């Protein structure tokens, strides 16, 4: 119901509510929100590494442990906190709606934010540790950088000169899902005692994200850059022609 309500608000109710209203000024709220998200993400990276991925976890095969081992329970608590963070992150889109930034509410954005709470809930309920938790650690690391960018961006236009690395966020997302793809597809070949259906879903989902983030990158940073360069060339040519004409006259 949370996810369904989120989709309905983001795509229908929210934009209709804001149609005749001025955008809300949420600068201070967003600075605090993004700073808290950075702290949450740092905590998740630390807990994920200390609970297993820096010590006794295997990167080729890590079955789920349902015992009361202290590290197992610690990872379980981290997975639960990760799930709660995925629900809190739905506010990203709420802020877009209230600020009338509808252009940023893309299918990729809605799909990503709708799917992650469901995946995190499945992890919480059935797979609270083991092989799949590397996804959460990598995702949290990406979010440290991403929410740091959002925090600086929300401080105002004077911070733009420090935000030259925007397109590299998409590159990091592509690297993230490529690692997740490789990390999960090996489950079908090494005989690991980890649910193959979950590995299949993670593999398929990582491919979908690679395609969507790749398309976004091509449209915004490759084709967009080419179009901008072509426009600059035309503008320079027009200016040059105008100068020559003036000199002739």
Please write the tens of the pLDDT for every residue from 98-107: 999 998 899 9
* pLDDT exceeds cutoff 80 at 233: no
131 classed as catalytic:
no
From 80, 109, 112, 143, active-site residue: 112
pLDDT value of position 244: 46
pLDDT of the residue at 79: 96
Cα three-residue angle 218-207-89, rounded to 5 degrees: 80
Quote the CA–CA distance of 230 and 147 in Å, as a whole number.
33
As a whole number of Å, the CA-based R_g of the chain is: 22
Look up residue 173 and give its two tokens.
């997302």
Residue 85 confidence class, pLDDT cut points 50, 70, 90: very high
pTM for the model:
0.85
Dihedral through CA 209, CA 211, CA 212, CA 216, nearest 10?
A: 130
Q: How confident is the model at residue 248 (pLDDT cuts 50, 70, 90)?
A: very low
């Amino acid at each position: 119901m949370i996810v369904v309500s989120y989709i309905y608000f983001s795509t229908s109710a929210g934009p209709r509510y804001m149609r005749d209203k001025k955008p809300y000024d949420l600068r201070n709220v967003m600075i605090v929100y993004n700073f808290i998200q950075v702290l949450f993400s740092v905590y998740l990276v630390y807990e994920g590494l200390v609970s297993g991925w820096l010590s006794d976890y295997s990167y080729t095969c890590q079955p789920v442990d349902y015992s009361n081992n202290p590290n197992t329970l610690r990872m379980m608590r981290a997975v639960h906190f990760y799930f709660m963070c995925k629900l809190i992150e739905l506010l990203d889109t709420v802020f877009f709606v209230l600020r009338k930034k509808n252009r940023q509410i893309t299918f990729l954005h809605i799909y990503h934010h709708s799917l992650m709470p469901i995946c995190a809930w499945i992890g919480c309920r059935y797979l609270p540790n083991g092989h799949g938790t590397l996804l959460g650690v990598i995702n949290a690391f990406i979010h440290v950088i991403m929410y740091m960018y959002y925090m600086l961006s929300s401080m105002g236009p004077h911070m733009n000169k420090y935000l030259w690395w925007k397109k590299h966020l998409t590159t990091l997302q592509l690297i993230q899902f490529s690692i997740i793809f490789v990390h999960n597809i090996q489950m079908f070949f090494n005989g690991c005692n980890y649910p193959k259906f979950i590995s299949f879903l993670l593999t398929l989902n990582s491919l979908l994200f690679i395609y969507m983030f790749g398309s976004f990158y091509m449209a915004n940073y490759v084709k967009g850059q080419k179009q901008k360069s072509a426009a600059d060339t035309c503008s320079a040519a027009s200016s040059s022609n105008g100068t020559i004409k003036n000199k002739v006259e």
